Each structure stands twice: as C-alpha cells, then as structure tokens.
Amino acid sequence: MSTRVDFAFGAPNRLRTACQVVYKHYQAGRKLIIYHSDPRSLQRFDRMLWGFEPDAFVPHVAIDHPLAAQTPILLCSQAPQPHHQALPNGAWLLNLDNQCPPTAASFHRILEIVSEQESDKAAARQRWRQYQQWQYDVRSHQLPA
C-alpha cells in the first residue's frame, strides 16, 4: 500500500480551513482521524469544530471515547492507528501537527493544510521533504483565494 499525501496550500486560516475540510469529509460519509500531538491544541480545534459554522454539525469525539466506534470523526493526540477498533479500513488522517504523524506509513491517505503564515509554510516544507524521503505519493493543491 502506497501512502498518498495531499497538501492544500493557501489556507487563509489553517484551523478554520481544517474545520471546513472535516465537514466535507463528514458529509461524504468518510471516517477521519484528526491528529495533533499537543492535547491542548487538539482541544482548541475540538471547540472550534463545534462552532465554526452556525449550521454545520460535525459529530466527533476523542479516539478513546466510548462512542468512538459510532462517531465518524475522531480526535487523537497519540500516535494514530488506522486499524483502531473504532475505525473501518480506509480511514483517512488529517494531520494538524507540525511534524509528520508517527504512524504515517499505516495510512492510505493523509491530508495536510497549509496557511500563508511563514512558520506554517516552513513546517510544511519539512513534512513534504520527509514524506518524499519515505517515497510517498505527495501532491500539491492550491486552495482558491
């Protein structure tokens, strides 16, 4: 299995764009793990996901929550496992961390969102190079302005 990594460049706000991406995947019926190694940052994203749009509902819980198996969007601050009991095969990973996820090789698809902030772009360039070293199928997409 070759891992494909899609970088979306040009996000006006990385986390808000991530919320919109998660919402689209939820509407499409796709299981998604959202990874960030910092639990506080993940908690901030959790709160943002509940209220980023007044009419957008995105059911999500922590990956170790009792309702994880019935919830399509899972939050994870530990090394994400694609074969976690709560996930069907084929779950995608949205990486919100500044580093490549520690279990990246076990995912079929990884999503990366990059803002226009210089620090964000620099961290994304490092992840891009790392994914290329791992010989992943790395693709670039420019978000519409």
Question: Which one-letter amino acid corresponds to residue 104?
Answer: A
pTM comes to 0.91
In this prediction, residue 82 carries a pLDDT of 58
What residues does each domain of the chain span? Answer: 4-142
Q: How does DSSP assign 106-139, residue by residue? A: G-SEEEEEEES-HHHHHHHHHHHHHHHHTT-EEE
In this prediction, residue 89 carries a pLDDT of 63
Q: Report, as an integer, the average pLDDT of 19-43.
A: 93
- 4-142 CATH, one of 3.30.43.10, 3.30.365.10, 3.40.630.30, 3.40.50.10110: 3.40.50.10110
Question: Which one-letter amino acid corresponds to residue 71?
Answer: T
Looking at every residue in the chain, the average pLDDT score rounds to 90
Query: What residue has token string 């500044």?
Result: 98
Q: Give the angle 55-60-65 at the CA atoms, nearest 5°.
A: 155
Per-residue pLDDT of 45-72, as tens digits, reads 999 998 888 888 899 999 989 998 888 9
